[in-house]
A and B are shown apart, each in its own frame.
Chain A
Amino acid sequence: MNYVGKSVKRIFDPRLITGRQNYVDDINFQGLHAAFVRSPYAHAKVKSIDTSDAMKSKGVVAVLTGKDLKLREPMRPWVTYIDTSHLKNAPRYIFHDTVKYVGEPVAIVLATDRYYATDAAEKVNVDYEQLKPVTTMEAAAEDKVLVHPDLGTNIAYDSNFNAGNAEEAIKRADVRIPVEIANERLSPSPMEPRGLVSRYESGFLTVWISTQIPHILRNEFARMLGLESSKIRVVMPDIGGAFGSKAHIIPEELAVIAASMKLNSTVKWVATRSEEMLASTARHNHFKGEVGFMKDGTLVGIKGTLDVEMGAYITYTSMIQPQIIPPMIPGPYSVKNLAIRSRAVYTNTLPITMYRGASRPEATFIIERIMSIGADELKMTDVDIRMKNLIPPSSMPYKNPFGLQYDSGDYPGLLRKAVEKLEYNKLRSWAQEERKKGHRVGVGMAFYLEICGFGPWEYAEVRVDEYGNVSVITGATPHGQGTETGIAQIVADELGVDMNRITVIWGDTAVVPAGFGTYGSRSISLAGSAAALAARKILERMKSVAASQLGVEKVEYVQGEFRGGGKSMKWEEVARKAYEVKDPGLMAYQFYEANVTFPYGVGVAVVEVDEFGIPKVLKYMSYDDIGKVINPLLAEGQVYGAVVQAVGQALYEDAKIDENGQLAVTFGEYYVPTFMEAPEMKSQFTDDPHNSGYTTGSKGIGEAGLIVGPAVVIRALEDAVGARFTKTPTKPEEILRSMKK
């Protein structure tokens, strides 16, 4: 029986393809629906809230405001991954007396029906006194208008990431190049808008919530609401996508929970798409600096300022970006002199969440743009300049200038293979010939080094019941990736059983004793390894039961049979017996402690631009080293999904905020790619993988496509048009302008 490494079909799809999914909005319940009253202003004092008209509205049971719903403790960032020691953090509660972004909720309406709740929300009369807002990072950095006057500044975080001597290195460089590289704000836009059902009965709180982090939420709810954590149960229903944006808490969710506690009732709220866009925008950052190259292409120094927009409040994950982007800027290259000033900036706009890649796409875009700009200025090819700078395999494991330990890999080797396997040079020649005929088509590439597999640990428990059937309880929280299938494959191989005997359970804090969750491309590695080790413990126990049953010292386990002393016992027999002997039971758990790993790879894209400046990505090919591949079908699926998101980021998606601080687009104008914009894709994994140190040997693939994709697409766009672009998204109007030059 050998499942690992095979493209096994997912175990839970039948539910999803027959309309039997159970997302939070599918949960049927008896209780109240919620709707929110939201600020139309980016910055205003709430002078008064008159709920009397709303209370007379049909179906309304209550209208609650800041005076009714309070938190014991405010929201705070994810301290597991974020260093808050030098953070100027404004405390964030449910409803505030001063609103600081358009869409900020100021009241919650509870009614018997969603239509009625929405009707009533329109009838709540809020008296606002408008204050001057600051809605761009540039203006905010001047500290003339403050988002949080108590903090005295809009700079929430200002830290220098220094290694070597960048100033000196750049001074002595043969070529100095100024660079300005940016990503504009995005909306992660999972197809399922978030929501929750909160039920409070006499001291016990149960919350069904569209989230990636149920255990963490339980702890945060306990802290913020002042409840014992053992009296809180958080349940993850099916999740319709998350992409990092549902490792998050928003005041609306806390308002629903607090309302259910106050009214001793069940309350449900599911965001409309417009509200989902308010809940989660991501990834606005701007890097301005200077780099130094030697004539032979060696990158000797990088210096600059990185500004990352936070929005009006620091959220659970937004500070990951300013802290992890700088140490990842060197990437897979041997540059040792860096001086990067990293700032987090408050503005009166929607608070930022993390989004697939969470700082690595930003860092990769910066370093890959630097490499390509260097190639252009030095008249070298993209491949040659990278070969010049890639850390050689002889230097592995490699400690990067900021202390990150790259575990294993052969970066130049992979680049060489990728160039060959993806027929990169042939494609570039073809594109060149096409351009001579007037067909504006270009080929671009980029290389990425990814950091993933974030610890500190993940949990797994394996149980074999009296029938010999297996349950794996995991702290991972897959929400579309198919990790549960990968984990079942791993456990099936460890135990030598048919995969059909295995059920994987996750997402319920009452059932799963502990866990962090699925994010940061960590689950198949950490949760898979935990499950593998727990399974091994079970097998040891079963061997010992079999041995004692067979009256021998030791047994061998071969293809479902325990053999010793010329006799044998089947798997089912041993399982049954294990519950009849002294010290019964067959369950084992494992906390798998681990630290990060570093997959890497190459992307190549073919982009065509028509005479109107409108771009189209025709093809995208990837070649990755992600260590051991547990399920190629699922791993490819992750690449394809992430690549189309990268295409979206590079060319289509702009969660534009206007001068009044308002989100200027509806979902109809926020251009998530459709079938027509998505390219033909081919994903390949190297035939010479460098495994991680985890039990599974895997590294991680969930985010890689979006980490390198934007740099690949923009490079191909540059090749098609013969101009330089350093921003995502790059829009047709800008492309046409550059074509006319």
Chain B
Amino acid sequence: MYPRETGYFRPSNMEEALKFLDKETESRPLAGGQSLIPMMRYRLISPSYLVDITHLNMSHIKATGSELRIGATTRYAELLANNEVGKMAPLLHKTLMHVGDYQVRSMGTLGGSASNADPGSDSPAALMAMNAKFVLRSGGGNREVAAKDFFKGPFTTDLKQGELLEEIVIPTHSDYKTNYMKLVRRAGDYAIVSVALMLKMKGDSVEDVRLAYANASDRPYRAREAEDFLRGKKLTDDNVREAGEIASKHSSPPSDIRGSSEYRRELIKLVTMKALRGMA
């Protein structure tokens, strides 16, 4: 309920921030705090310092022809209010409406959720499906990491000590049909399972499909085997069912208060089928 003592550092520029994060090994960056502060209140984590990164010009939404560059500290509410985001990256809008609740979306940031890498979180699943790229900034410069290499495990990313997530790059996909289907025990909760689906058809065959899930593994789960199976095929009942079964087969969902892994495996199959059928 009451966090432990912590220090607070508000850097005036990126270099200061990076230097501090590198030196203070127990410090954590603070953007929206919607994941960090609840953990601090339960005293599950106690950072030595909180480094306030919300004044480092990372709250931008820039659209080029083929991609959306979103600053790491851009709030969910800003993204949802932005029509360009809705047009160019419809999956992102569909996903963010399911994150937490109205109040959480005022403060929570896309970068925060990505760096937190909770396997049950919604936006990492969508970012996986969208083949997002993560721009990581350090004292030595920038590097870009693909989503599949960024999410390494539960609450674990490729961010190194002294590195900060600066920007998230989303390839635009207005030519895809998209959906985010989230199954919950109660509104606002983490998913029992969820699926982020992107689909491009050529005639009545699948040209490209992306299937990514929350709470289906120890990180956002891309059902690549199911995607490979579907590419080039028609969306018949049989193919849809088999895709669901393949997706389920390669998942390794957790058991928790929301459901057992057995139940989740079944749901992964069923929600995949429902999402695909809904695209017809």
Contacts and interface: CB of A to CB of B under 8 A. Distances in A.
Contact of B263 (A273, A673, A675, A736): A736
Contact of A118 (B2, B257, B258, B274): B2
A481 B271 CA distance: 43
B237 to A, nearest CB: 14
Contacts of B185: 614, 652, 671, 732
Given A612-B267, A665-B257, A677 B187 contact: yes
Given A118-B2, A612-B271, A665-B257, A736 B266 contact: yes
B4 interface: yes
B80 interface: no
B23 interface: no
Interface in B162-213: 183, 185-189, 192
A650 to B, nearest CB: 14
B260 A733 contact: yes
A674 B183 contact: no
A536 to B, nearest CB: 50
A669 B257 contact: yes
A677 B189 CA distance: 12
A674 B259 contact: no
Contact of B186 (A274, A677, A733): A677
B270 interface: yes
Interface in A666-718: 666, 668-669, 671, 673-677
B238 interface: no
A664 B255 CA distance: 13
B1 interface: yes
B183 A676 contact: no
B186 A673 contact: yes
Contacts of A122: 43
A564 to B, nearest CB: 65
Contacts of A673: 186
Nearest to B262: A733
Interface string B1-27: 111110000000000000000000000
A115 interface: yes
A102 to B, nearest CB: 16
A119 B263 contact: no
B4 A733 contact: no
Interface in A431-486: none
B186 A732 contact: no
Interface in B1-60: 1-5, 42-43
A445 B103 CA distance: 38
Interface residues of A, number: 27
A286 B148 CA distance: 49
A656 interface: yes
Contacts of A119: 2, 4-5
A92 to B, nearest CB: 26
A664 B263 CA distance: 19
A100 to B, nearest CB: 24
A272 B42 CA distance: 11
Contact of A115 (B2, B189, B259): B2
Contacts of A611: 270, 274
Contacts of B43: 122
Contacts of B260: 733
Contact of A674 (B186, B258, B263): B186
A673 B258 CA distance: 15
B186 A671 contact: yes
Interface in A92-121: 114-115, 118-119
Nearest to A652: B186
Contacts of A674: 186-188
Interface string B263-277: 100110011001000
Contacts of A114: 2
Interface string A125-156: 00000000000000000000000000000000
Nearest to A270: B1
B10 to A, nearest CB: 21
Nearest to B267: A612
A736 B5 CA distance: 46
Nearest to A648: B186
A274 B263 contact: no
Given A118-B1, A652-B185, A676-B186, 15 more contacts: A115-B2, A611-B274, A612-B267, A612-B271, A614-B185, A665-B257, A666-B42, A668-B189, A671-B186, A673-B186, A674-B188, A676-B187, A732-B259, A733-B260, A736-B266
11 contacts: A115-B3, A118-B1, A119-B2, A122-B43, A614-B185, A666-B42, A671-B185, A671-B189, A674-B187, A732-B185, A733-B263
